[in-house]
Amino acid sequence: MRAAVFHAVDQPLAIEDVPDPTPGPRDLVVEVKCCGICGSDLHAAGPSGGLPDGCVMGHEFAGRVVEVGGEATGSFAPGDAVTAIPGIGCGACAECLAGDVMHCRALKITGLGDLPGAYAQYLRVGSNEALHLPEALDFRQGALVEPLAVGLNAARAAGLTSGQNVMVIGAGPIGLAVTLWARFFGARSILVSEPAPGRRAMAEAMGATHGVDGSASAAPLLAEMPGGGADVIFECVGVPGLLAQCVDLAAARSKVVVAGVCMQPDTWVPGVALIKELQLQFVLAYRKSDFQLTLDMMADGRIDPGPMVTDRVGLSQMPEAFEALKHPSTQCKVLVEP
Ligand SMILES: [Zn+2]
Ligand SMILES: [Zn+2]
C-alpha cells in the first residue's frame, strides 16, 4: 500500500510503498478514507519530536473495515464505517475494560512510533478501540472525532456547567473543540484569546462570544464578565509562560485546565495560585465514552466542527501540505483523503 513515511527532521514525508497491515486476532484492518493532520504530528516530525525513521503518522481517522480478526469484539464486519481511538491496549486491564485505553500500561500508540498511522491507504486498529460511525456521518466528520474528543475530555475535566464564564487561550483545533463544547455545556460567555484573525473568526463560528488577540489584553474583558472573571481558563497552546499568564488572569477559586502540550521547562509562581486557591488540572486524551458522545452529538447535528476544516488533500499532495503547516498560515484542520 501507499503511505506517507517520515524519514528525517529536515526531509518532507515521502510517499512510498510499505507492507499492508495484517490484523492480530482482536484487530481490524481499515481502509483509510480520511485523516486529519494534527499539530502533534508537526511537533513529532520536528527537531525535538524524536520520531523514528520509517514512521507513518496519522491518528485522527475514519474509514471502512476490510478485514476482521478472528477474536475481534464489537460486531464489526467488512464494509462497516468506523473510527477508532488511536492506540491498541491490552484489552484486559481495568483501564481497557473501562474504555480508558489511553492509560493502559501496555498501550501501543498509533501514528507516533509504536504502530503505523493513517497517512496511508490501510491501517490496523483494535476492535476494542473502534467505534461504528453513525449513518448520518461521513468520513470527514469521522476524522474530526478525535480532536473533538480531546476538547470534550477537557470540558468534562473542568466540570463545565451551564451559565459559567469560560476563557480559551489559543484557537487551534483543540481550543476550537473546547470552545464548541463550552457552548454545548451552556457557558454564558466564552472569551477566546488568539492572535490570528482567521482563527478568531472560526472560534466565533464555533461558539466564542468574545475574541481578543492576546491574553494580556483579555484582563479588562474578564473583569467585565458577570461575577468578575472566568470560572475556567483553558490553556490550549502549550508554550512556556502561558501557565503564569493563566494564573495571573484567573479569578479566586476558579480553575485552570491545561490542554496545551508544552515539552520545555516553564516557570510560574505557585504562591499566586495559592493565594487565589486555584484548581489546576492537566488533560491529554479521552475515553471511549468521549468518542461515543462526540459521534452521537455530531450525528444529531448538535455540534458542528465544520468551520475548523480549512483544506482537503489527497495522499500524494499530503507531504507538501504537511510542510506548509510547519509555517504560520491561515490553515487550521487539514484533512488527508487517501
Ligand atoms: Zn491529534
Ligand atoms: Zn489494558
Whether the pLDDT of residue 335 is over 70: the answer is yes
**Same domain, yes or no: 129 and 213:** no
One domain, residues 94 and 194 = no
pLDDT above 90 as % of the chain:
91
Q: Give yes or no: residues 228 and 268 share one domain.
A: yes
pLDDT at 263 over 90: no
Average pLDDT score over residue span 112-117:
93
In a domain, 37, yes or no: yes
In a domain, 291, yes or no: no
Confidence of residue 144 (pLDDT cuts 50, 70, 90): very high
Q: How far is the centre of ligand 1, averaged over its atoms, from the C-alpha of 103 (Å)?
A: 17
Kindly state the average pLDDT of the residues 263-272. Answer: 94
**Would residue 186 be called left, alpha or beta, if left means φ above 0 and alpha means ψ between -120 and 50 degrees?**
left
The alpha carbon of 92 and the centre of ligand 2 are apart by a number of angstroms equal to 5
Per the document, the length of the chain is 338
Place 227 in a pLDDT band, splitting at 50, 70 and 90: confident
Task: Note whether 108 and 196 are same-domain residues.
Answer: no
CA of 9 to the centre of ligand 1 (A): 19
Across the range 153-177, mean pLDDT stands at: 96
Helices (H), the chain: 39-44, 94-97, 139-143, 145-158, 173-184, 197-205, 219-224, 242-249, 270-276, 288-299, 318-325
In a domain, 287, yes or no: no
pLDDT of 101: 96
Specify whether 325 is located in the same domain as 263. no
Strands 60-68 and 81-84, sheet pairing: antiparallel
Looking at the structure, do residues 71 and 201 belong to the same domain, yes or no?
no
Distance 59 CA to ligand 1 centre (A): 6
CATH number, domain of 217, equals 3.40.50.720
**Measuring CA to CA, how many Å separate 164 from each of 6, 9, 82?**
43, 43, 35
What is the whole-number distance in angstroms between the Cα of residue 307 and the centre of ligand 1?
A: 17
Distance 131 CA to ligand 2 centre (A): 17
Nearest ligand, measured from the Cα of 129: 2
Q: What is the pLDDT of residues 29-41, one digit of tens each?
A: 999 999 999 999 9
Are residues 99 and 11 part of one domain? yes
Same domain, 134 and 165: no
pTM listed for this prediction: 0.95
Query: Residue 14: which pLDDT band, with cuts at 50, 70 and 90?
Result: very high
Beta bridge partners of 34: 62
**What's the 1 CA to ligand 1 centre distance in angstroms?**
23
**pLDDT band for position 324 (50/70/90)?**
very high
Residue 268 lies in a domain: yes
Q: How far is the CA of 50 from the centre of ligand 1 (A)?
A: 17
Tell me: pLDDT of 320 over 90. Answer: yes
The values of phi and psi at residue 317, to 5°, are -90, -5
Please indicate, yes or no, whether residues 49 and 79 belong to a single structural domain of this protein. yes
Residue 289 lies in a domain: no
Q: Look at residue 82 and give its three-state secondary structure.
A: strand
Decide if pLDDT at 336 tops 70: yes
Q: What is the CA radius of gyration of the chain?
A: 20
Query: Which grid coordinates are listed for 315?
Result: 495522499
pLDDT surpasses 70 at 51: yes
Residue 132 is predicted with a pLDDT of 98
pLDDT of amino acid 328? 79
Give 226 Cα–ligand 1 centroid separation in angstroms.
34
Is the pLDDT score of 272 beyond 90?
A: yes
Report yes or no on 310 lying in a domain. Answer: yes
DSSP 3-state of 114: coil
> Which residues have CB less than 5 Å away from ligand 1 (the ion)?
38
Identify the domain boundary among 251, 282, 313: 282
- Is residue 288 over pLDDT 90? yes
Q: Same domain for 140 and 156?
A: no
The tally of domains found in the chain comes to: 2
pLDDT of 215 reads: 66
Condensed to tens digits (0 to 9), the pLDDT of residues 233-251 reads: 999 999 999 999 999 999 9
Say whether pLDDT at 266 is over 90: yes
CATH code (residue 34):
3.90.180.10
Residue 216, pLDDT score: 65
Look up the domain containing 215 and give its range.
148-282
Whole-number Å distance, alpha carbon 285 to ligand 1 midpoint, is 9
Residues 108 and 137 in one domain: yes
296 lies in some domain: no
> pLDDT at position 182, please?
98
Query: Are residues 7 and 137 part of one domain?
Result: yes
In a domain, 19, yes or no: yes
**Mean pLDDT for the stretch of residues 315-322:** 96
